[in-house]
């Protein structure tokens, strides 16, 4: 492959890589927020991490 092809290829790959990164971050941040607040709520109630996990499985 010649150098000009590499230059064009890296540009496309970089744009695709960045787009994939930001999309996944946005989706994970949105969906994971509920899990984080639940975890904080359990901690405030004095529940241990294992107890919270066991309770979540029962539900």
The footprint of another protein (CB under 8 A) covers: 1, 3, 6-7, 10-11, 13-14, 16-18, 20-26, 28-29, 31-32, 35-36, 39-40, 42-44, 46-54, 56-57
Output the smallest distance, CB 52 to another protein, in A. 6
Instruction: Let me know: does 52 contact 42? Beta carbons within 8 Å.
Output: yes
Output the smallest distance, CB 9 to another protein, in A. 9
**DSSP assignment, residue 34?**
H
CA end-to-end distance (rounded Å), the chain: 56
Alpha helix ranges (H) inside the chain: 3-44, 49-58
Output the smallest distance, CB 54 to another protein, in A. 8
């Amino acid at each position: 492959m010649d150098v000009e092809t590499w230059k064009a290829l890296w540009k496309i790959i970089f744009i695709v890589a960045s787009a994939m990164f930001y999309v996944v971050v946005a989706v994970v941040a949105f969906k994971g927020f509920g899990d984080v607040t639940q975890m904080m709520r359990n901690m405030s109630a004095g529940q241990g991490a294992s107890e919270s996990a066991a309770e979540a499985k029962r539900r």
